Amino acid sequence: MNDMSLKIGPLPDRTPQKLTLLMDPPLITELEDYAHVHSRINGNDVSAQALVPHMLEAFMASDTGFRKARKALVSKSPNI
């Protein structure tokens, strides 16, 4: 099968990685409240822990300064 190719190449590694964070109690309370509101609006229970990766992803996607800096950083990297 080595002579065959598909339009979709190898998939990126999507294995979740563990990250431990220390947060102040008021932020934990806000995250739990956010999860509660999200659950009520969408009709299914979701934990704050499940929402945090999506929140971080949305935050970084909306940060145009970060995207520009990262693009410049990646373009200077000899490994990519």
CA-CA distance, 18 to 21, in Å (whole number)?
10
pLDDT given for residue 79 in this prediction? 61
Supply the range of the domain harboring residue 55.
Answer: 25-76
Domain membership of residue 5 (yes or no) is no
Residue by residue, pLDDT tens for the chain (80 residues) are 567 777 888 778 888 899 999 999 999 999 999 999 999 999 999 999 999 999 999 999 999 999 999 999 888 876 65
For residues 46 and 39, the answer to whether their CB atoms sit within 8 Å is: yes
pLDDT at 14: 85
Cβ–Cβ < 8 Å for 38, 46: yes
pLDDT at position 41 is 94
Q: CA–CA separation, 34 vs 40, rounded Å? A: 10
In a domain, 7, yes or no: no
Alpha helices in the chain (DSSP H): 25-42, 48-62, 64-76
Q: What is the pLDDT of residue 2?
A: 64
Q: Is residue 8 part of a domain?
A: no
The count of structural domains within the chain is: 1
Number of residues assigned to the chain: 80
Read off the tokens for 43: 């009709």
